[in-house]
Structure 1
Amino acid sequence: MAARTAVLVKAGRTAAAGLVLAVPLAAGCKADVGVSESGSPSAGGTKPASGDEARARKDLSRLRIAAEGGGSGYRRDKFGTRWKDTDHNGCDQRNDVLDRDLTKVEKKGGCVVVAGRLHDPYSGKEITFAKKDAAEVQIDHVYPLALAWRMGASRWSEDRREQFANDHDNLLAVWGVPNRQKSDSGPGEWKPQKGFQCSYAIKYVAVAKEYSLPVTRSDHDALQDFLGRC
């Protein structure tokens, strides 16, 4: 797609990326703060399970390759509520992902993550998360929403788009700086640090397969390269 009205679209996307965590505390939470020293392993510290690489290579070979469509009509609210409790555990997806990906997690009311440590998968940097500076750690969509829109999600039902936007498998807690740089780029335009490229490709391919999303030729080739780092 010719220079892809890229510059115009990206300008709007970057602004949106920076707002990803600008949400208030969940209503009705208690004032007590709980601390978990162990926490879940950071996303950047996890390694693919045995067989994940081979499965991703197989699935990548079966993904449809398509040209990127236009972004006309895209708005974040086309993908539903941010963030929703889609797994019905009483906590919204944002706090679920922070709780999963951060260590030394502190929570208020059993749900709202107010502090923790992140090993950022995109840069390898250690980040201290505090609620008062929430934008330092953001929740990223591995397969970006606006890119998904251009690759066919514009034709999905509203329910399916909301499911996609809140799917834990497509969400990562990351440092705000690389997230803003990534914006809604695919792997052919943006890549994480080398140490995370294998895991990133495995996640990206799995989401594309789950939602029958195609990839561009440049994204396909980049994902293939990333899997070579496994």
Structure 2
Amino acid sequence: MEVGDDAVVTGADAPTAVATEEPTGTSAHDDDDDESARDRDPDDAVTGSALQMLYELEVKGRAPKTGYDRDLFGWRDDVDHNGCDTRNDVLRRDLDDITLKSGGCVVLGGSLTSDYTGDTFDFIRGDSNNIDIDHVVALSNAWQTGAQQLSEEELLDFGNEPVNLLAVESSVNRSKSDGDAATWLPPRKSYRCEYVARQIQVKHDYDLWVTPPEFDAMEGLLLDCDEDEFGNDDWPDRHDGDVKPEPAPEYEPEPQYEPKPDPKPESKTSGGGSSGSSSESSSSGSSGGSGSSESGTSGGGGVYFKNCDAARDAGAAPVHAGDPGYAGHLDRDGDGIGCEWS
């Protein structure tokens, strides 16, 4: 499942693409128009607008998914070399009132107002992982519309492209799966123009194409939109973002211990001594058995996942430390939660 396309992150349920609230696969023009919408000249649209960019895109069917592997896109790498991985860059950019781990990269908490729904909710790292990072143009969609022709460096840039990444609630992101504009649009209607404009900008910048239904849905929507504006959405530097001061550390008072009374003198009878020795031995054996049991417990439980796609397919993502199948290669930021990202 994808976060855009690889919904990484969480959830045992398989993603399902859902229909939009309004039909999106139809053009705003009648079928008997003399001029085909797909033959329009870019000069018909405002210079620099999303509509003009759309008219400059090639229109054809999807290519096979053969050879697709989300790892080819290097998602979550530190491509901007600011010392922070892409997931935390997105969280620092999109969340308000964030709390950062010492070092200025890892976001421990904050508040998100979702572009897709308009809802506001808190993010607490490790707390059911309620936030995904969505690829606006899903990775598998990109692969089937031209990305398989990109170089290794270009794939890396695409996978970590700021304009193509948004922090959103996991539940909504899973409903999108790898859908394009013809099959899925954000529930929040007021954001749909910007959402489609982002998709067009990304496809235009990386020389990807659109399918005929995708083109019709995009054009039909944009013809009813106000003039679009594009933002760069550059990554923040380390420590940047709407960071709130860290609370002063709270120190608990050291426990006070009462002195133990002097032990009673031992009985001189041999029976009592034997009983005490037996009791100590039994207690020691019990304690040792318990300790041995703890050290023998394994978080892996004999389960192994090659990657997060496999963990999600098995309905095991996210995988927490101690869960069957948890391993370091699934937890790149080392916070004890594997496959939390999309």
What range is the shorter-chain TM-score in? 0.7 to 0.9
Comparing 176-185 with 70-79, which one deviates more in the overlay?
Answer: 70-79
| SS of aligned partner of 1:77 | helix
Q: How is 1:26-105 mapped onto 2 (pairs within 5 angstroms)?
A: 55-80=49-74, 82-105=75-98
Contact kept in structure 2, 1:21 and 1:139, CA below 8 Å: no
- 1:37-91 CA-partner distances (Å, limit 9, x unpaired): xxxxxxxxxxxxxxx99611111111111101111221211212x3111111121
Opposite residue 143 of structure 2, the aligned amino acid is W
Q: Which residue number corresponds to residue 30 of structure 1?
A: none
Of 157, 171, 176, the match for 2:151: 157
Residue 224 of structure 1, aligned match among 209, 219, 224: 219
Q: What is the aligned partner in structure 1 of residue 174 from structure 2?
A: 180
Q: Separation in 2 of the partners of 1:146 and 1:189? A: 15
What displacement does 1:127 show? 2.2
Between the aligned partners of 1:165 and 1:20, the Cα distance in structure 2 is 16
Counterparts of 1:53 and 1:106, CA distance in 2: 41
Partner SS, residue 212 of structure 1: coil
RMSD after superposition:
2.3
What is the aligned length? 189
Other-structure match for 2:165: 171
Alpha-carbon distance change, 83 to 53 in structure 1, aligned in 2, over 3 angstroms: farther
Tell me, yes or no, if the aligned pair for 1:140 and 1:179 is still in contact at 8 Å.
Answer: yes
Contact 1:119 1:126 (C-alpha < 8 Å) held by counterparts? yes
Distance in 2 (CA, whole Å) between partners of 1:53 and 1:133 is 45
Task: Please identify which structure carries the higher helix content.
Answer: 1
- 1:214 equivalent to 2:209? Answer yes
Letter in 1 for 2:192: Q
TM-score, normalised by the number of residues in structure 2: 0.52
Contact 2:138/2:178, CA 8 A, preserved across alignment: yes
Q: CA deviation at 1:13?
A: 4.8
TM-score w.r.t. structure 1 length?
A: 0.76
Identity %: 38
Deviation, 1:19, is 2.1
Which is greater in Rg?
A: 2
For residue 6 of structure 2, what is the aligned residue in structure 1? Answer: 17
Shift of 1:93: 1.2
| Unpaired runs of at least 5, structure 2 | 12-45, 227-342
- Gap runs ≥5 in structure 1: 1-11, 23-51
Does structure 2 conserve the Cα–Cα contact (< 8 Å) formed by 1:147 and 1:186?
yes
Letter in 2 for 1:59: M
Give me the whole-angstrom Cα distance separating, in 2, the residues matched to 1:151 and 1:121. 25
Give the secondary-structure state (helix, strand or coil) at the position aligned to 1:213. coil
Name the CA distance, whole Å, in 2 between partners of 1:13 and 1:21.
Answer: 10
Q: Secondary structure at the match of 2:127?
A: helix
> Equivalents in 1 of 2:202, 2:89: separation in Å?
18
Once the two structures are superposed, the pairs formed by residues 117-136 of structure 1 within 5 Å of their partners are 117-133=111-127, 135-136=129-130
Match of 2:32 in 1: none
